[in-house]
Amino acid sequence: MAEPLHEKIYQYLYQKIQKHEYEEGEKLPTESELSDFFQSSKAPVRQALEKLGLEGFIVRRPGKGTYVAVHQAWPHLNLGGFGQEFSEKSALIYCRTLKVEEEPLPAFLQGEPGLENCLTITGVTRVRYYKSKPLYYLHHYVAGLERELIQQEGNFASMLALYDKYHRAIGQTAEVLEAVGAQGEAAKQLQVPEGTPVMQVSRKTYGQDGRLVEYVRFYVLTADWKYRTSYKNRE
């Protein structure tokens, strides 16, 4: 059975984005140009662009054109979240890395695949802002990437993007969401009183070899913002 034309167009654009033939922030060909290239009507072109937009790879700006999204997190597994909710406002998003340092391996990670003989792990603390307002407070325990590589990235947009950049293959994730009251450092960095309702997300990410790559726990202010997540393995 022949591949639908809109899927063919989607794969063509997707591959060019992933191979950086279209760079972040770069304007894509117009619908008319893509229609001419594929010798098709605009309908399958629009279907392909709509799919890329829903997955966060592109941003469509009325009257200006279609652009490759900035800070697209991960080409193989889309974990949505902050970037998906604000993909069209990326210029207003800022991610700040507070610290990257060696930490004792927490008890709840002892015995995880790949950490059986470990006493320490890399801890990464970050805050994400929108219009200078803190929205996410994140603390990562990272086993799948060298501490020096993370440190040299400075205020990077996404841990998932770093795994892709340094070719760390991801196999699966497990995520738990809870409604809690902000406490301690989370309340301080989110600039809210202790006890303020937030969503706590705890996520374990494993490599294709089954070893733990990362555990992250983050807190999201949800009074004015939504956290969205979707999972799709392209492999």
* DSSP class per residue in 84-119: HHTGGGGGGEEEEEEEEEEEEPPGGGTT-TT-TT-S
Residues 55 and 141 reside in one and the same domain = no
Q: Considering the domain boundaries, does residue 131 fall inside one?
A: yes
Q: Is residue 151 one of the residues assigned to a domain?
A: yes
Question: Which residues neighbour 25 within 8 Å (Cβ) at sequence distance 6 or greater?
Answer: 67, 68, 70
Question: Bigger pLDDT: 86 or 158?
Answer: 158
CA distance 96 to 178: 24
- CATH code where residue 44 lies: 1.10.10.10
In this prediction, residue 56 has a pLDDT band, given cuts at 50, 70 and 90, of low
pLDDT digits (tens, 9 = 90+) for 29-43: 999 999 999 999 999
Q: Is the pLDDT at 195 greater than 80, yes or no?
A: yes
Residue 225 lies in a domain: no
Q: Count up the domains in the chain and report the number.
A: 2
- Is residue 17 in a domain? yes
Closest CA to 205 of 109, 86, 120: 109
Looking at per-residue confidence, does 99 or 14 come out higher? Answer: 99
pLDDT of residue 63: 83
Q: Which domain holds residue 19?
A: 5-68
pLDDT (average), residues 114-142: 92
Is 226 a domain residue?
Answer: no
Please name the residues in contact with 5: beta carbons below 8 A apart, sequence gap of 6 or more.
38, 40, 44
* Residue 42: per-residue pLDDT: 92
Instruction: Assess whether 136 and 179 both reside in one domain.
Output: yes
Domain boundary among 43, 68, 93: 68
Interstrand relation of 93-104 and 65-68 (parallel, antiparallel or unpaired): unpaired
pLDDT at 225 (0 to 100): 62
Contact status, residue 140 vs residue 214, Cβ threshold 8 Å: yes
Domain membership flag for residue 126 = yes
pLDDT (0 to 100) of residue 142 = 97
Residue 1 has pLDDT above 70, yes or no: no
Residue 233 lies in a domain: no
pLDDT for the residue 234: 47
Of 44-48, 52-56, 112-116, 159-163, the poorest mean pLDDT is in: 52-56
Mean pLDDT of 71-98: 54
Q: Is residue 24 part of a domain?
A: yes
Name the domain boundary from 42, 68, 94: 68
Higher model confidence: residue 62 or residue 118? Answer: 118
